[in-house]
Amino acid sequence: MKITFLGTGTSTGIPLIGSSHPVCLSQNTKDKRLRSSIKIDFDDNTYIIDCGPDFRQQMINSNCKKIDGILFTHEHADHTAGLDDIRPYCFRNGSLPIYGHKRVLDNLSNRFRYIFKNDNKYPGAPSVVPNYVDSSSYLNLNKFNVVPISYLHADLQVYGYRFKDFAYLTDLKTIEVNEIDKLKNLDTLVLNAIRIEPHFSHLNLQEALDLIKIINPKKTYLTHISHMLGFHDDVEKELPENVHLSYDGLIIEVN
């Protein structure tokens, strides 16, 4: 299974528009972050988790010619605003399956009504096949079982996803013990860590490290990073041996 980090930034991306913060002015490509998303390739299948406003550029950057479906964590714009840009995939392969909580897909159907409608549809509009995700059961993707992980982003319910021994959790602030139990024996975890200072709806760095100790994966990559976390290379040097900062374009192989 191959994981490509399409974007590793928080909702504003890095650099923040108009900012003179040193990280925003950095020339290190690892400090330039599009909105958070990953691509997962297994067998002959390609799935995307989240489809934010940088989706088109991410697909070009990763030379992604085919998508079998998009999994949504939640409805915030930095995770969903690129949905219209699935059009080229629909032109070639028809309606695209999408997966998410009923609340999330209902939200998208209101915001992107022209995508979801079936009558008098504009010929150039994309189309989707909605699939509701329920944390009490597996999600079957082409005979591949995916485990939804439910947690809170402030008071908003969000889904992370476990693919075999790999799990992707973003926009997490609090998680119940029964959901942590679904994350036992992970090879690789991806987890959000927005900055050093506490945040009302995201884990800060110390909270992320504390949760990593509880979950105890073999390796962790931090994502959904703001410029306030610091320079990539400086932060990387201070992390535990089995914890790393992700960066846009990073590719990892997971069993």
Amino acid at 48: I
With a cut of 90, say whether residue 117 has pLDDT above it: no
pLDDT at 78 exceeding the cut of 90: yes
Q: Output the pLDDT for position 118.
A: 82
- The dihedral through the CA atoms of 207, 254, 42, 58 has a sign that is positive
What string of DSSP letters covers 58-92?
HHHHTT----SEEE-S---HHHHTTGGGGHHHHHH
151 by DSSP, 3-state: which?
A: strand
Q: If you average pLDDT over every residue of the chain, what do you get?
A: 97
Cα–Cα distance measured from residue 192 to residue 204, given in angstroms and rounded to the nearest whole number: 8
Q: Which of 59-68, 134-143, 163-172 has the lowest mean pLDDT?
A: 134-143
Do residues 61 and 29 make contact, with C-beta atoms less than 8 angstroms apart? no
DSSP assignment string, 202-245 = S--HHHHHHHHHHH--SEEEEESB-GGG--HHHHHHHS-TTEEE
Question: How many structural domains is the chain composed of?
Answer: 1
Nearest to residue 140, comparing CAs of 68, 190, 37, 39?
Answer: 68
Q: Is the pLDDT of residue 65 over 90?
A: yes
CB 167 within 8 A of CB 73: no
Residue 17, pLDDT above cutoff 90: yes
Q: Is 209 in a helix, a strand, or coil? A: helix
Instruction: Write down the residue that tokens 């992970």 correspond to.
Output: 186
| Residue 1 near residue 255, CB atoms below 8 Å | yes
164: CATH:
3.60.15.10
Location of structure tokens 């100790």: 213
The answer to whether residue 237 scores a pLDDT higher than 90 is: yes
pLDDT tens by residue, 217-232:
999 999 999 999 999 9
Grouping H, G, I as helix, E, B as strand and the rest as coil, residue 191 is: strand
Section 73-81 average pLDDT? 98
Which H or E element spans position 105? helix 102-111
Average pLDDT over residues 79-85: 98
Q: What pLDDT does 122 receive?
A: 87
pLDDT of residue 119: 82
pLDDT reported for residue 120: 81
What one-character DSSP code corresponds to residue 55?
A: H
Edge-first strand listing for the sheet containing 251-253: 128-132, 96-100, 69-71, 45-49, 37-42, 2-7, 251-253
Q: Show the domain range for 94.
A: 2-253
Interacting residues of 168 by C-beta distance below 8 A, sequence separation 6+:
38, 49, 160, 161, 190
pLDDT bucket at 185, cuts 50 / 70 / 90: very high
Could you say which DSSP state residue 34 is in? P
- Kind of pairing between the strands at 144-153 and 139-141: antiparallel
Inform me whether the pLDDT recorded for 255 exceeds 90: no
Q: What is the pLDDT of residues 122-158, one digit of tens each?
A: 889 999 999 999 999 999 998 899 999 999 999 999 9
**Residue 224: what pLDDT?**
98
Q: What is the mean pLDDT of residues 87-104?
A: 97
* Token duo for residue 58: 């991410």
